[in-house]
């Protein structure tokens, strides 16, 4: 008898659980919308309720801790998105670091997008002369790449040796191999140091510098749609097409060719992309290039 009663009650219990989960999802959605619609005064009040002082020092400290929600509230409250770390909270040294570029270079795209939405300078550069778009392309962060492009980031900005976000997306895009990184070192001065530094997790947040599943092809398409030069050459004459051949990415080669990549360009060693493919024994890529 008891078993029958329990079985009869089971559908009701399951319905209550499902309703509860649905209600929780709705409340989370409402909370996110509420956060987006906060006025600066309301954002400051929320910080106060959380026991957080509204000051530059407090803001920088929350960035260092990886407190994304608090950082978003600071930006909603009117904190300068282009603030420089004169307190040396982020850099931990005597050098002053841009808070926005620190967030970008340490792999926190959600927090970085909040900076972009608050009006951060999307063409700012870090001490390595990287722009935010270069970092996002190398790391394979499509949402941040889209946000930066939509905010007016220069897709053809280059470091001194000529490497652009497109070259970094083709050669990296979230999953570069070690041999390709060694090659890219010729074109990007202290790329290895940047990767080594950014691969170390930061307190309270920060992720691996190289997400394994980043959709590099989509990053490349987004950059090309935004006007990236597919035939840009580094100081060594290497092109995005050559980097894609070196990485053995046939689909990437196809995308570049479909968007006007010149397979006849030569680097300083006198090699074309076709020669590189032949040297590396990539018959599939050789066919595409022919």
pLDDT tens, residue by residue, 170-216: 877 655 444 455 455 454 444 444 444 443 333 333 332 333 334 68
What is the average pLDDT across 260-286?
Answer: 94
**In sequence order, which residues have a C-beta less than 8 Å from that of residue 125 and are 6 or more positions away?**
101, 131
What is the average pLDDT across 126-149?
Answer: 94
Going by pLDDT thresholds of 50, 70 and 90, the confidence category of residue 37 is: confident
pLDDT of residue 93: 64
Evaluate if pTM is beyond 0.85: no
> Which tokens belong to 165?
């976000």
The residue among 235, 140, 256 whose CA lies nearest residue 188 is 235
Q: Which residues pair with 205 in a beta bridge?
A: 202
From residue 261, give the alpha-carbon distance in Å to each of 7, 91, 138: 66, 40, 20
pLDDT tens, residue by residue, 214-226: 468 889 999 999 9
Give the chain's length.
290
Residue 220: helix, strand or coil by DSSP?
A: helix
């Amino acid at each position: 008898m008891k078993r029958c009663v329990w079985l009869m009650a089971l559908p009701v219990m399951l319905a209550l659980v499902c309703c509860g989960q649905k209600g929780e999802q709705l409340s989370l959605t409402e909370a996110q919308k509420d956060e987006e619609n906060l006025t600066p005064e309301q954002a400051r009040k929320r910080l106060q309720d959380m026991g957080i002082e509204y000051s530059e020092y407090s803001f920088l400290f929350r960035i260092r801790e990886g407190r994304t929600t608090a950082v978003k509230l600071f930006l909603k409250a009117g904190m300068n998105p282009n603030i420089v770390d004169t307190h040396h909270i982020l850099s931990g040294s005597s050098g002053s670091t841009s808070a926005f570029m620190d967030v970008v270079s340490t792999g926190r795209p959600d927090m970085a997008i909040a900076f972009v939405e608050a009006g951060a300078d999307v063409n700012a550069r870090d001490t390595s002369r990287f722009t935010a778009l270069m970092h996002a392309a190398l790391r394979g962060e499509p949402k941040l790449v889209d946000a930066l492009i939509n905010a007016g980031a220069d897709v053809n900005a280059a470091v001194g040796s000529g490497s652009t976000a497109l070259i970094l997306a083709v050669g990296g895009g979230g999953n570069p191999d070690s041999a390709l990184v060694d090659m890219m070192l010729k074109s990007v001065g202290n790329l290895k140091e940047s990767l080594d530094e950014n691969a170390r997790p930061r307190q309270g947040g920060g992720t691996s510098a190289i997400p394994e599943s980043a959709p590099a092809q989509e990053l490349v398409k987004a950059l090309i749609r935004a006007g990236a030069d597919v035939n840009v050459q580094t100081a060594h004459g290497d092109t995005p097409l050559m980097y894609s051949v070196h990485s053995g990415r046939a689909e990437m080669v196809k995308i570049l060719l479909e968007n006007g990549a010149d397979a006849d360009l030569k680097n300083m060693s006198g090699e074309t992309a076709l020669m590189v493919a032949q040297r590396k024994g990539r018959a599939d890529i050789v066919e595409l290039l022919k």
